[in-house]
Amino acid sequence: MIEGVLLKGYGGFYYVYAEDRVWECSLRGRFRIKDQDFLPGDRVRILPESNTKARIEGAEPRLNFLSRPSIANVDQALLVFAMTSPKPDLNLLDRLLIQVTYSGIEPIIVFTKLDNYNAETLSPDSKPQPFVSDIYRRIGYTVFEVSNKTGTGIAELRNRLEEKISVLAGPSGVGKSSLFNALSEGKQLKTGEISQKSQRGRHTTRHVELMVCAGGLVADTPGFSSLFLPKMKREDLAGYFPEFEEYRHKCRFSSCLHDKEPDCSIKAAQENGEISRTRYEHYRDFLQEVIAAERRY
Ligand SMILES: Nc1nc2c(ncn2[C@@H]2O[C@H](COP(=O)(O)OP(=O)(O)OP(=O)(O)O)[C@@H](O)[C@H]2O)c(=O)[nH]1
Ligand SMILES: [Zn+2]
């Protein structure tokens, strides 16, 4: 019996990654009867029947579970944005940070196209502008700046993927496919074609699959970039902004929502530059959304 991770279910079979190869697996009878809902990410035990085929004999309990897309045991989410072209959508980034944290998954922010950004900012007619990475680093998030073209930063990020199940999220055109390919370089699978990310049908199907990448498993998650904030109470939103933590109990009102209330310490911290203005603005935008959603329950 060997242990592996389920990559995807397809055409009545399950594909399981174990011992550095992909096995085409059928289910043992008693699982079939229960109409078991195995998910990508599930840790399973398989019994080989040949070099490439095996039978699933059992599954471990899930540690966590992401819906939309359905993946089990996700360790971390790579939130991918380009440093330039397209300009990073920080409202979406802040939204994704909330969604990921809400699901109990560690966020890792990845800014791509460092080569483009450097070329632009080093040109004689451009004003030097600090990039937003440091804002997020100071809050405590893990941030990588990479170039999929030159390979800068890729090795460091690759280390973070080893032995982990990661999901990729981010808008179109930021370089998710390129990043996946850059991370995969030099590591070829022995069996199975699932290591190659297929362009075709990727966004048209709701099918999720995990792919072997840099010693770990990675899923692309187009649906995860959903614009909706998780269901929460308005007073819980500030808890998703870690940099508010040291101020939020110093407001005049203990029920302060850090919006229009007088003597709000978060607003004061924003005014004197201790809290980023865009982050605070997004907080206020999101607050209105959370309040509007509350009314619909
Ligand atoms: N200069 C530069 N170009 C990049 C980099 N990463 C990606 N690109 C280019 O950006 C474009 C979009 O890259 P993709 O990898 O297709 O982006 P994606 O996020 O997978 O896009 P979708 O499939 O629409 O979700 C392509 O023309 C890439 O060649 C980078 O680090 N530097
Ligand atoms: Zn306040």
Domain that holds residue 36: 2-61
Same-domain status, 57 and 78 = no
Pocket test for ligand 1, best of 87, 96, 148, 198 (most atoms within 8 A of CB): 148
Contacts of 139 (CB under 8 A, 6+ apart): 242, 243, 279
CB 112 near ligand 1, within 6 Å: yes
Same-domain status, 114 and 219 = yes
Q: What is the pTM of this model?
A: 0.90
Residue 206 has pLDDT above 90, yes or no: no
Contacts of 67 (CB under 8 A, 6+ apart): none
- The C-alpha atoms of residue 290 and residue 228 are separated, in whole angstroms, by 10
Residue 46 has pLDDT above 50, yes or no: yes
Same-domain status, 154 and 111 = yes
- For the stretch 153-176, pLDDT in tens is 999 999 999 999 999 999 989 999
Residue range 264-293: mean pLDDT, rounded = 97
- For the stretch 99-120, pLDDT in tens is 999 988 999 999 999 999 999 8
Nearest to 74 by CA among 109, 96, 103: 103
The CATH number for 91's domain is 3.40.50.300
CA dihedral sign, ordered 90, 115, 77, 9 = positive
Same-domain status, 26 and 138 = no
Q: Among 225, 255, 275, identify where a domain stops.
A: 225
- The C-alpha atoms of residue 202 and residue 217 are separated, in whole angstroms, by 17
- The C-alpha atoms of residue 49 and residue 28 are separated, in whole angstroms, by 12
Tokens of 53: 């085929």
Q: Among 41, 61, 81, identify where a domain stops.
A: 61
Same-domain status, 177 and 221 = yes
Contacts of 254 (CB under 8 A, 6+ apart): none
Same-domain status, 105 and 122 = yes
Binding residue numbers for Zn(2+): 251, 256, 258, 264
Q: Comparing 282 with 206, which gets the higher pLDDT?
A: 282
Same-domain status, 99 and 157 = yes
Nearest to 196 by CA among 206, 181, 186: 181
How many domains would you assign to the chain?
3
Same-domain status, 139 and 45 = no
Q: What ligand is nearest to the CA atom of residue 181?
A: 1
Same-domain status, 20 and 166 = no
SS3 176: helix
The CATH number for 280's domain is 1.10.40.50
Tokens of 277: 């203005």
